[in-house]
Structure 1
Amino acid sequence: MADELSKHFLELTHIESFYGKIQALQGVNLYVDKGEIVTLIGSNGAGKSTTLKSISGQVTPKTGSILFDGKDITKNPTHVNAHLGIAQVPEGRRIFPRLSVRENLQIGAFAERSKSIIAERMERVFGYFPRLKERLEQKGGTMSGGEQQMLAIGRALMMKPKLLMLDEPSMGLAPIIVEQIFDIIKEMNKEGMTILLVEQNAFQALQLADRGYVIQTGNIVLEGPCSELLTNQQVREAYLA
């Protein structure tokens, strides 16, 4: 049934999500097609992270529907969505600081029993982030912010996700490191990864992504190709000035 309802890889229809009595999303409509990078931009508290949490299952929408890869996942808990192939790199990275790089990565492959497949996935992560291989036995908490962000993305990739959701990957990082992270996101996408990106750096996000959405106080107020959003006067004044 869901296949008939949605032609898109991921589709949110009229999603309303709450924290207690506080409404965070007010009828969000959004879609992502396979192989795209889609970005969601907006100010702090606009509902960006809540949108990702509603997709991953950390927040259960009160109304509306979320369809992913032909399945209705609206009410699914997080672990079910993880098994379906949705991986989220949370804001603030949230690696395990007392565990080594190796252990952090192994946790990402929690659902996989085969040691050879886990090793294969780890090598793929090292292809994107060679520095992690150099720091394999180092405790996560002793690494730089940029290295921790690489580790957080690497841990998500260990799940072999169909959809990778990134929440503020540039936060707190030096510009040169941000550039490296964005280059790697672009590379992953070229190799077929579908990406939904929430990002405070609107200019870089819109340069990287195919399409974008602008969210304000829980409402999508603008959407379209990023090339159009970059030249939109409203977007330029609010996010690119």
Structure 2
Amino acid sequence: MTLLKLNEINSFYGGIQALKNISLEVNEGEIVTLIGSNGAGKSTTLKTISGQVKPKSGEIYYKNQDLLKLPTHNIALKGIAHVPEGRKIFSKLTVKENLEMGAFSVKDKKIIKERLERVFNYFPRLRERIDQKGGTMSGGEQQMLAIGRALMMGPSLLMLDEPSMGLAPIIVEQIFEIIEQLNSEGMTILLVEQNAYQALQIAHRGYVIQTGEIQMVGEGKTLMNNEEVKKAYLA
């Protein structure tokens, strides 16, 4: 079943066109990755889906609902959690307070408690640092916190923007293991990632984007073995 569908999306920053007729689909239960060089339009695609960037034309449907008619906060309430590039946690709030911010729309304290426990099971380090200010944590811990905060929303689609950026290799491995675990438990994931090798290894399907246009689509393993992809992104 198609969970998310973009059809010929055109997005701009002022007079500069960032996305050119972008069309893509994410099916329920998939990991779909979007790879490309810096400035290719990967982050803009996620921002357009989450409503931070309003396209000039095109269609976006999530569970057959038209997202373009909704304000950003309502898009989140529909079940789309966006973990932005650079994490953007609340540096002056504690780990627990950051996580609780992710559940801002949840009134049932029992559900919040259950989701906190789930996040701590994925990221035991966050439990250890529950009262620590977010801004004093390492980059890897902040990334865990950003993902955990998104999970507190109870999303059905998790969008991750450059989760490995600036992290040590061992932390990157841990983050990708969690992404695979989440997916194995039923989470649909749209992954933007500079580390194309890591992304394509776990992705069911991938899209290659260059200068705002989709250039190639295929299964993750197929794209990994494509000579053009190897030369441009895996060398």
| Superposition TM-score tier, normalisation by shorter sequence | over 0.9
The whole-number CA distance in structure 2 between the counterparts of 1:69 and 1:167 is: 22
Residue 198 of structure 2 corresponds to 204
Partner of 1:4: none
Partner of 2:45: 51
Counterparts of residues 40-79 of structure 1 (less than 5 Å): 40-79=34-73
Does 2:103 align with 1:94? no
Given that 1:61 and 1:75 are in contact with CA atoms closer than 8 Å, whether structure 2 keeps it comes out as no
1:50-70 deviation digits (Å, cap 9, x = unpaired): 000010000111111000012
The equivalent of 1:165 in structure 2 is 159
Alignment partners' CA distance in 2, 1:230 and 1:108: 35
Whichever residue aligns with residue 142 of structure 1, its letter is: T
Aligned to 2:98: 104
State yes or no: 1:126 paired with 2:145.
Answer: no
Structure 1 portions without partners, runs of 5+:
1-6
Alignment of 1:1-241 (within 5 A): 8-241=2-235
Amino acid at match of 2:2: H
AA aligned opposite 2:50: S
| Cα deviations by residue, 1:164-211 (Å, 9 ceiling, x for unpaired) | 000000000000000000000000000000000000000000001100
1:169–1:199 contact (8 Å) kept in structure 2 = yes
Q: Give 1:135's aligned amino acid.
A: R
How far apart are 1:8 and its partner, in Å? 1.4
Give the TM-score taking structure 2 as reference length: 0.99
Moved more, 67-76 or 187-196: 67-76
Aligned residues: 235
CA RMSD in angstroms comes to 0.7
For 1:96 and 1:215, locate their aligned partners in 2 and report how far apart those are by CA, in whole Å.
Answer: 31
Distance between the aligned counterparts of 2:110 and 2:96, measured in 1?
15
Runs of 5+ consecutive residues of structure 2 not aligned to the other structure = none
**SS of structure 1 residue aligned to 2:58:** strand
Give the residue type in structure 2 aligned to 1:141: G
- CA distance in 1 between partners of 2:28 and 2:73 (Å): 22
Deviation at 1:76, TM superposition (A): 2.1
> Any idea what the Cα deviations from partners look like across 1:138-179, whole Å, max 9, x if unmatched?
000111100000000000000000100000000000000000
Whole-angstrom CA distance in 2 between matches of 1:225 and 1:203: 13
Could you list the structure 1 runs, at least 4 aligned residues long, displaced by more than 3 angstroms after superposition.
none
TM-score, normalised with respect to structure 1: 0.96
CA distance in 2, matches of 1:75, 1:229: 34
1:115 Cα deviation (Å)? 1.2
Q: Does the aligned pair in 2 maintain the 1:39–1:196 contact within 8 Å?
A: yes
**Following the alignment from structure 2 to structure 1, what is the Cα–Cα distance between the partners of residues 27 and 221?**
18
Q: One-letter code of the match for 2:223?
A: L
**2 CA distance for matches of 1:112 and 1:75?**
23
Partner amino acid for 2:103?
A: A
Displacement of 1:216:
0.3
Percent identity between the two aligned chains: 69
Counterpart of 1:78 in structure 2: which amino acid? T
